[in-house]
Structures are given as structure tokens and as C-alpha cells.
Amino acid sequence: MLFENGRKRGDTVSGYKVAILGASGAVGRMMVKVLEERNFPVRDLKLLATERSAGKKIDFHGEKLTIEVAHPDQFKGYDLALFSAGSSVSRSIALEAVKRGCVVIDNSNAWRMEPDVPLVVPEVNPEELENHRGIIANPNCSTIQMVVALKPIKDRFGLSRIIVSTYQAVSGTGLRAIEELKSQSLHMLNGETKEPEVYPYPIAFNLLPHIDTFSENGYSREEMKMINETRKILKDPKIKIAATAVRVPVFYGHSESIYIKTIEPAEVIEIRQVLSKAPGVVVYDNLEKLQYPMPNLVEDNDQVWVGRIRRDLDEDCGYHLWVVANNLRKGAATNAVQIGEELMKRGLL
């Protein structure tokens, strides 16, 4: 641990000094809300962003806090920093914050695949936190909900193959994309056109099989993130995974159609039972009652919802699942705050 300011772990009076980098963004605002909802013991909350948002106010436990411009010395004396400002900022500031005594939980892609940075979903691999050296990475939103649903199945029946197609909400791209979907929809319903600014094509009334940039192998970086991060989190570098990531005109909530091959055969009812007992999972799977997960069910909650569980008609040990979760909450802010809670529980903060 790189603490240089003499602060010892657990050296807090009552509550922690917490900073949020990217506090004005879609994830940052949700972090403030989730810290409040979960009553995380915060003694002092500092909100950081750029000049664009400096001076704006955000409510926390009834107090109006002012956003300030981020610079490395802002982290001095703080215990915990939640980063959600993109990977280039994270690369340039995270180590500076660690040097000044902070534990950083980073939501960007900057540190996730570094071998000595734990990539953590508390329901799946909390033990990895024991090895942290100042920076902990929050996985990609689509990866988080997939591993929460698949880890219990892997533990019970083994997993050899995953094929996933995602249906990702625009809030996954941030506040500008939420505005783009709103205004494009209004314009199109009025028979007008509006040039896209955030995405290369209109997202209203459309689907884009394109998230992040494309790699040379034909997969998008979002798809490769799901593949590489899942292997790291499940500690299974050989598991076969293919992903297709699609942006859809939904504001909040990512959905995933997941095909898995288990190693041991399972009855569908056994998969349901395993998932019903799994932390963070809601099994919502009753076709007679038309119960299946949808994005509008996850707007205000942190669970990973699983339904449409069924056997493949041709492949032995093949099963299909439909998995939905709120990308801003469990896919980002809640997972980060849960990591903070787990650090506290383990005496690592």
C-alpha cells in the first residue's frame, strides 16, 4: 500500500473522508445517491469534476455540496476516492491520489487488466481486495451483471462456454447520450431530423451493433472488455467466451441474452434454485404470469434479474438466460460503494 501521508488503515474518527471524481456525470451523481441510500459512513464528501461543472451543487443528506475542479492535491487527507471520469483522467490522477493516502476505486477501463489491480464484484470475488495496492478496478457494467448471474452456476455445475449478446442502455455512455436519445426521439416524432452527436448514427428508434471502438480482430472494445474481464474475475483464463455488444434506445438498464454450456448437466429447476440463493440475484421467471426481467424493472434497484431460463434444444449442457440490471447502479455506482463497504468490513480502509 502506497500511503505516504502517515495515515493508517482504519484510522478514522467517525466515518471516512470520501472524494468523487466525475461527480457531475451520470455515474458520479449516482455514487452520491448510493452513498446516501446505503448510509455509507461519510465524514466529509468532496465532489470533483472540471471547470465545466465547477460551482454546481449536488445534494447529500440534505446538504448542498459544491463541485470543485479536480487536481491531485484535492485528495490529500482523504481516505477513499471513487473515480468515474474516464480512463485518461484516471491514468493521470489515480496514482497521485494513492500517493496522497487515498484508496481509489476506479470505474474506467484504465486499470482493469493490470495484473496487480484487483477487478472486483463483491458477490463474486471479494477476496481479491486483500491484495490491493491502492487502486481497485470496478469492472465494465455489462461484465458485472453477467458474472453475478454466472458465478453461482459455475460453482455448482462448471462452465465451459459463454455466448452473450447485450442490449445496452444509452446511460452507459453518460449524460450526453441520455440527452441525445431524448432530443432525437422528440425531433423524430415531430417529423424532423437531428444530426447525431454522441453516436455515429441516430439511436432513437434504432440499434447500433457498435459500442466503443473496433479492434483488429473484428470485435468491439466493449466486447473484448467483457471477454477479458470475465476471464480475470472468474479466474478462468481458458473459458470460451464470445460477445456481441449492441446499443439500444433505452435510457436505463442493460439486458443480456446469455447462452452457456455447463460441464455437469443441470435441470432448469436446479439452475433456478442455485440462482434463487445467490447474493444479488432475483430470479424472475414465470412464463404463465408473464414474468421476465425488463429494463423498466431495474430503474431503482441494485439486483441482477434473471429470467427466461431454458434448456438449449440441441446441445447437451446448453442453457439460455436473460439477465437485466441497472448499469448506473449495480453496473457502476453500487458496485463501487459495495467495494468500499467490503474494504471496511475487512479492515482494509
Ligand X SMILES: NC(=O)c1ccc[n+]([C@@H]2O[C@H](COP(=O)([O-])OP(=O)(O)OC[C@H]3O[C@@H](n4cnc5c(N)ncnc54)[C@H](OP(=O)(O)O)[C@@H]3O)[C@@H](O)[C@H]2O)c1
Task: Mark the binding-site residues for NADP(+), compressed into ranges.
Answer: 24-27, 52-53, 171-172, 327
| Half-sphere exposure of residue 56: CA atoms within 13 angstroms, side-chain side | 15
> Binding segment for ligand X among 50-58, 72-80, 122-130, 277-285 (CB under 6 A)?
50-58
Task: Mark the binding-site residues, compressed into ranges.
Answer: 24-27, 52-53, 112, 168, 171-172, 247, 327
CA atoms of 17 and 79, how far apart (whole Å): 5
CA atoms of 81 and 78, how far apart (whole Å): 7
Q: Measured from the CB atom, is 174 or 307 closer to ligand X?
A: 174
Q: Measured from the CB atom, is 89 or 124 closer to ligand X?
A: 89
Q: Using CB under 6 A, which residues numbered 20 to 39 contact ligand X?
A: 21-28
**Would you call 189 helix, strand, or coil by DSSP?**
helix
Nearest Cα residue to 55 out of 63, 64, 44:
64
Establish if 326 lies at the interface with ligand X (CB under 6 A).
no
- Provide the minimum distance between the beta carbon of 331 and ligand X in the complex, in angstroms, as a whole number: 5
> Binding segment for ligand X among 83-91, 118-126, 184-192, 303-311 (CB under 6 A)?
83-91
CA atoms of 32 and 332, how far apart (whole Å): 12
- Provide the minimum distance between the beta carbon of 93 and ligand X in the complex, in angstroms, as a whole number: 7
Q: Measured from the CB atom, is 188 or 246 closer to ligand X?
A: 246
Q: Measured from the CB atom, is 212 or 270 closer to ligand X?
A: 212
CA atoms of 328 and 333, how far apart (whole Å): 6
Which residue number places its CB atom closest to ligand X?
25
Helices (H), 78-198: 87-99, 141-157, 175-189
Q: Measured from the CB atom, is 153 or 178 closer to ligand X?
A: 178
Establish if 85 lies at the interface with ligand X (CB under 6 A).
yes
Are 10 and 37 in contact by the 8 Å Cβ rule? The answer is: no
Per-residue binding letters, 271-310, with ligand X (x by CB under 6 A): ----------------------------------------
**Among 145, 220, 327, 338, which residue sits at the site for ligand X (rule: CB under 6 A)?**
327
Beta strands 240-247 and 135-137 are unpaired
Instruction: Name 158's Cβ contacts closer than 8 Å, sequence gap at least 6.
Output: 262, 263, 264
Establish if 338 lies at the interface with ligand X (CB under 6 A).
no
**Among 152, 174, 293, 307, which residue sits at the site for ligand X (rule: CB under 6 A)?**
174
Task: Examine the residue annotation and report whether 254 is marked as an active-site residue of this protein.
Answer: yes
Task: Mark the binding-site residues for phosphate, compressed into ranges.
Answer: 112
Establish if 211 lies at the interface with ligand X (CB under 6 A).
no
Establish if 107 lies at the interface with ligand X (CB under 6 A).
yes
**Would you call 241 helix, strand, or coil by DSSP?**
strand
- Provide the minimum distance between the beta carbon of 33 and ligand X in the complex, in angstroms, as a whole number: 13
Task: Name residue, grid cell 429470467.
Answer: 307
Pick the catalytic residue from 102, 132, 254, 317: 254
**φ and ψ of 120, to 5 deg:** -125, 135
Are 121 and 139 in contact by the 8 Å Cβ rule? The answer is: yes
Virtual torsion, Cα 265, 319, 228, 168, nearest 10 deg: -160
Burial label for 71, CB within 10 Å (0-12, 13-18, 19+), is exposed
Active-site annotation, residues: 141, 254
Binding site for ligand X (CB under 6 A): 21-28, 49-50, 52-53, 70, 84-87, 89, 107-108, 141, 171-172, 174-175, 327-328, 331-332
